[in-house]
Structure 1
Amino acid sequence: MVFIGDCAPLSFYQSVRQLVTSRVDADAFAGQNSQHAVLENLRPRQVVGSIAHPPVVRTANIPAMIARYITSTTGLVDLFDNALLTENMTLWAESRRSTDVASIVNYLVLAIGAHEDEDEPGSAYFEYAKEQAFASLGGDLGIETVQAFILITFYMLGACQINSAFLYFGVAVRAAYAIGVHRTEVNAHFGPQTGKQRDRLWKSLRILDLFLSTSMGRPPATSDVDCTVSYRTLDDQGKDVFDMLDASVQIMLVVENVVEEIYSRRKISLSITDGISMKLREWSTRWLQQLKDVTSPKAASGNVAVVNGACQVIATYCYAVMLVSRPFLMYELCRRLSDGVTQAPPNKPAMISGRLKLADACIDAACLMVDTVSDLINRGVITGRMPLLVSWLFASSLVLGLGLLGGFGRVLEKYARTSIAGLDFFAKSDAHAVQYSVIAKSLLATAVGYLESREMQERLQRTASSSQLFGLVPREPQHNADMPSPRPRTSFGASDRSREAATRPDDQHQAFRSLSSAGFAEMDSAAFDLPNSWAQTTDLSFFDGLLDTQDSWSTLNLFPFEEGGRIDLARYF
């Protein structure tokens, strides 16, 4: 038994599965994906015994491994002076290596860099370093101890062992608190250079912690209570300096606020939405354009690691928008599937478009994420293992599949297929991406089949009334019965369906940008067309319970693991 909270992508998937199988097609998802256990690596683990001697390191391959390490970690953790890392590592490899904590850290860096290189014994580096890291805990703690367990966590995330990563990360946090890296005045005692390194170590802890806690729906291990490290870097004029780590930690703090205010309390209100949207707009104004400039084709000749880092930060921003607007998308989907509506009613008065605007924002954020990731994949820029991108991309594929199912536009089929292509790209080295891709394909097939069946039903109804004009169908006595509707097709072997013509990304994201420029304070409670009880505070437990066979849409469980949620991992061990 393991706990998965409401904000996790897997919890969102469970809500989507309940909605689709109850309202659209009971066989929508393959049986093996109906389980909740999509956490640990499905591949058998190799049990490695005690390693008596340090593994051999080939110095000729160190630059390539360091490059892959920097590419994977940029934007998430910043533990060293990367400009000197290759040189320092080469000098260490050429010298007589010892078993001190610094050597343990070096082996872990190489293990992450060698994760995808079959010619390098990355697993041997990791197993040796992990064993030595635990053996060293009895000695004096230092920043190397914190670095070591951060790197162990990062390696296990790349190996799709997220529960294990979650446990090892707790050691890193306790070690960090023990040496006081959360207090900038303590860090300053070590001099400017080391003090800055310790500050960035704490920021790295916060980013990694909030990714772990959000992706699994669990309380974070770190907190800003009693923390004095600044998350902004200012120049001599007091203006913000562009810093990838600062941009990353700031958006993660917004994600933390979304989880605390909405998903932990299971309530949403206009004031909460307004406050969070203001924070997202402030972050977007400060960072988004600079990050998009880094990932633009003009910057393709720049630092690949920085481009990958910027992509991960943008994806986190998109996920933050999806988190805060996701309840409204589910609300709209339940209404449409209950009413049999496959597209938004035209010419709606402006005062009742607020709910749709929030639902559209969720979809537009998913489109922006997919556009950014797919563009870099097609340009060959994204490399290595990216557990954060895989998790957020999975959530976006669910949003896009729901948007297509709910009639938000057939162009979403193109975006959904693009998100699946991204998951397939990561599936080459990520076991989670393999399962996520299968789930997303099943949802897409169900959505397309559902829309086609409705279109066919409408076509048959028109044919029944128009064919008599010219005798296309001979007039015969007909029973007064409803026209049968074909069952949606959900098999993956179905023929390729026509896709909508691609529209320009800038046009697609116009609604998303308009959301950033218009405050929610301009809307009153009537704009959301919600019951009177929602006017001040909306209790999301209003959605609790499985969908029944009645017309009421209000029984969707947005929090499927809150009561009686069971996650069976036994068959994976």
Structure 2
Amino acid sequence: MLRPMNEAPAATGDVMERTSVANSEGQRLGEQLRMLQDGKGRLLYLGDSASLSYLDTIRRLVESTIGPCNFTNDVHKGKLVEGSISTGLTPTYVLPDKEAADFLLESFFSNTVGTILIFDREAFTQEVQSIYDNPLQTKQSRLSILNLVFAVGLQLMTSSDVSSPHGRQILERLDGGSVSRAEMFYVNATHLNDPVSGFEDGDITSIQALLLVTVFMLTVAKRNAAWAYLGMAIRSAYALGLHRKRSDFSFTAPEQRVRRNVWRSLYVMDCFLSAMLGRPNGIHCRDATDSLAAGSDSGDLWTSSDVTLELASISASVRASCLVGDILSNIYADRKISTELAHAISNKFQACKDSLPTFLHWQNIDLPDEDPKATLAQLHVNLNYFHGIILLTRPFLLQRVSDEIRALRETDGGLLSRQTHELPETDSAKSAPFQAACVRSALYTINAVQAALLKRALPRRDPFVIYWLFTAALIICTNGFCAVYHDIDNKHAMYTALNLHRHFGEVDPLARRFLDILIAFSEAIEQDTIPCAVPTGSKSKQEAIFSALFGAMHYGAKPGYVDDSAQPQTGGSRGANDLSRNQPGGIGFQSEMGQGNGQQIPLEPDSPHVSPPDYSLDFDAFLMNVTQDPYQQDLWTPLYGITDTS
């Protein structure tokens, strides 16, 4: 729990007597049991930042409160859902017709905007034209790259809502019947030039190929394979000096741009996979900032009017990923966080937000008649940003829920009426602004995805959006179980999140698995919830944090609207149960977010708007006694790293 850094956790009775024994064994078991079984029977490690690790802890908290249920007794919770690629496919080496090729190229560049940028689009389009003009003179490595681009482009487009009849006709031509055409493109690519077999002699082309394979593996829910391929790409990039700007001087200007953007893409993917799997970054943040902080092609990025959407998006994603990398290295790697550190990182979020180009602001997602590609760019950039906020603030939220459960159980053994339960001011209550920010960031994530879906700009198999959405949905469900933050329509936000997962789950196996988890969680919430007292402190602390992380926002009538009580009153009040203005497709995001003026609201540790800096949360020392499992009765259990995540 939050406590002065030099204060030991309190314990009484035989809990204290067993602490020394349980600590050594518990730490050892925690490391052994934080493993999930894949389809081949292997045990794979997941760390603290993974949403599945958070899910496991929430399951135990729920079980300690309401007992066993479908949510806590999930038979698949010890397994990691991994997709598969058809084996035994015979490569055809046949390219699609040129019209279909152009369609797949457009799908690739549009649906990966803001996540990877590894080609100069104009140069690559010309290369594709030359390949179709004279395929026999094309190197196999470039044919392999083209097939991988086709595979990713088709995988992201398949089963999506293609608005044009012409596009639907092309997809029908690409339909391979019982054989996935996207998988066939992938098989063709690996037979033409397997990037793994040529790993020792890899060049920039092999790194591009490995990045494409990484994205393809994510689209088919092979997360561990994606992690492995990305690791190979990162090692090759280090060998070629992509992490040092000075090494670019040996290349032409176009080659320098490609090298720099490939390195940016590697870092975005590295931070995404490291956060998703809870594993160490492959790229050190020092190397990232040295090469990414200021590129010669992006010095005027935030003011230039002729900058491409692709470059602006990947650069903004890099900035958001730098925040995620900072959190992973300074919080999750050390397994501890303090309010002082959280405030310091919040200032970095504010700087990132203020530097964002106006056309990438997330409120624009809800504007009508926006280019779908621009909408997806806004979505990728800002969901990455919101996910960073969740990673920063989630430990405080989890600790608050644990404190509420412990307080309830310790009050007359839990027999006191829940209507009269009051939470004494604890260390976790002092971090309430960060807990609220966690829920608010999750709400904005869900609303942004909903807005993009309503504009028909969202592919159904986007692995980035699906994971970020699931992370946010878990936070919203947690707030439904223990209402830490009251200023939103949490029930409607949960409803929206479930519908979004249901939409993705029609074609994506990972989204289906996430949907099953969320449905079980919502059913558990219907059985019982934990009362949570509203913090008695001034709202000025919360407003300062919100201003730093989100800007001065006024939120319109969207699913999970912010209650009027949290906004300046300009008229009559709105009933808590009035959902007539809270339907999908309603009024969008309205904001007074700063337009890049660079003016930051200082959040210094000694500010009256922050809690005392001498309180910290140690992931290992933060212990709880909430489980009612017979084998763990009255034992202190580490909050993170508990067995059987799912």
* TM-score, normalization by structure 1: 0.79
1:72 to 111, 122, 125: 111
* Cα separation, 2, equivalents of 1:237 and 1:161: 38
* Cα separation, 1, equivalents of 2:345 and 2:151: 39
Task: Determine whether 1:320 maps to 2:397.
Answer: no
* Cα separation, 2, equivalents of 1:185 and 1:566: 46
- 1:255 to 1:33, Cα distance in 2 relative to 1, 3 A: farther
Task: Determine whether 1:6 maps to 2:48.
Answer: yes
Aligned match of 1:82: 121
- Name the % identity: 19
* Cα separation, 1, equivalents of 2:50 and 2:299: 41
Do the aligned residues in 2 keep the contact of 1:335 with 1:553 (CA within 8 Å)?
no
Aligned match of 2:453: 377
* Cα separation, 2, equivalents of 1:355 and 1:157: 35
Aligned match of 2:619: 540
Do the aligned residues in 2 keep the contact of 1:15 with 1:556 (CA within 8 Å)?
no
Aligned match of 1:427: 505
1:224 Cα deviation (Å)? 4.2
Aligned match of 2:401: 333
- 1:554 to 1:196, Cα distance in 2 relative to 1, 3 A: farther
1:436 to 514, 519, 523: 514
2:374 to 289, 306, 315: 306
Structure 1 letter corresponding to 2:185:
Y
> What secondary structure sits across from 2:82 in the alignment?
coil
Task: Determine whether 1:246 maps to 2:315.
Answer: yes
Q: What's the C-alpha RMSD, in Å, of the aligned pairs? A: 3.7
Summarize the alignment of residues 172-571 of structure 1 with structure 2, pairs less than 5 Å apart.
172-225=233-286, 228-232=290-294, 243-287=312-356, 290-292=359-361, 295-298=364-367, 300-302=369-371, 304-340=372-408, 354-407=430-483, 408-409=485-486, 411-451=489-529, 501=579, 517=601, 519=603, 521-522=605-606, 527=611, 535-544=614-623, 547-549=626-628, 555=636, 557-561=638-642, 565=643
Structure 1 letter corresponding to 2:198:
L
> What do the CA deviations read for 1:515-543 (whole angstroms, capped 9, x no partner)?
x9562625579947xxxxx9344322233
Summarize the alignment of residues 37-116 of structure 1 with structure 2, pairs less than 5 Å apart.
37-41=79-83, 45-48=85-88, 51=91, 54-97=93-136, 98-115=138-155, 116=158
1:269 Cα deviation (Å)? 1.6
* Cα separation, 1, equivalents of 2:366 and 2:610: 44
1:413 Cα deviation (Å)? 0.9
1:348 Cα deviation (Å)? 10
* Cα separation, 1, equivalents of 2:196 and 2:432: 56
Aligned length: 507
1:223 Cα deviation (Å)? 2.1
Structure 1 letter corresponding to 2:251:
F
1:349 Cα deviation (Å)? 9.6
Do the aligned residues in 2 keep the contact of 1:374 with 1:422 (CA within 8 Å)?
yes
Aligned match of 2:21: none
> What secondary structure sits across from 1:538 in the alignment?
strand
Task: Say which structure is richer in helix.
Answer: 1
Do the aligned residues in 1 keep the contact of 2:49 with 2:332 (CA within 8 Å)?
yes
Give the gaps of 5 or more residues in structure 2. 1-42, 159-170, 409-416, 533-575, 594-599
Do the aligned residues in 1 keep the contact of 2:203 with 2:240 (CA within 8 Å)?
yes
- 1:138 to 1:558, Cα distance in 2 relative to 1, 3 A: closer
2:232 to 171, 187, 191: 171
Do the aligned residues in 1 keep the contact of 2:400 with 2:428 (CA within 8 Å)?
no
1:384 Cα deviation (Å)? 4.7
> What secondary structure sits across from 2:45 in the alignment?
coil
* TM-score, normalization by structure 2: 0.70
Structure 2 letter corresponding to 1:375:
A
Do the aligned residues in 2 keep the contact of 1:352 with 1:527 (CA within 8 Å)?
no
> What secondary structure sits across from 1:542 in the alignment?
coil
> What do the CA deviations read for 1:205-240 (whole angstroms, capped 9, x no partner)?
111111111100011212244564233457777966
Aligned match of 1:463: none
> What secondary structure sits across from 2:503 in the alignment?
helix
* Cα separation, 1, equivalents of 2:185 and 2:44: 29
Aligned match of 1:26: 68
> What secondary structure sits across from 1:268 in the alignment?
strand
Give the gaps of 5 or more residues in structure 1. 456-497, 511-515, 529-533, 569-573
* Cα separation, 2, equivalents of 1:557 and 1:288: 42
Do the aligned residues in 2 keep the contact of 1:233 with 1:246 (CA within 8 Å)?
no
1:191 Cα deviation (Å)? 1.5
Aligned match of 1:489: none
* Cα separation, 2, equivalents of 1:369 and 1:154: 22
> What do the CA deviations read for 1:400-439 (whole angstroms, capped 9, x no partner)?
0111111244710111111122222221332111011111
* Cα separation, 1, equivalents of 2:95 and 2:467: 34
* Cα separation, 1, equivalents of 2:442 and 2:101: 37
* Cα separation, 2, equivalents of 1:387 and 1:24: 33
Do the aligned residues in 2 keep the contact of 1:544 with 1:559 (CA within 8 Å)?
no
Q: Which moved more, 1:498-507 or 1:5-14?
A: 498-507
- 1:33 to 1:257, Cα distance in 2 relative to 1, 3 A: farther
Structure 2 letter corresponding to 1:359:
Q
Do the aligned residues in 1 keep the contact of 2:195 with 2:209 (CA within 8 Å)?
no
* Cα separation, 2, equivalents of 1:401 and 1:138: 44
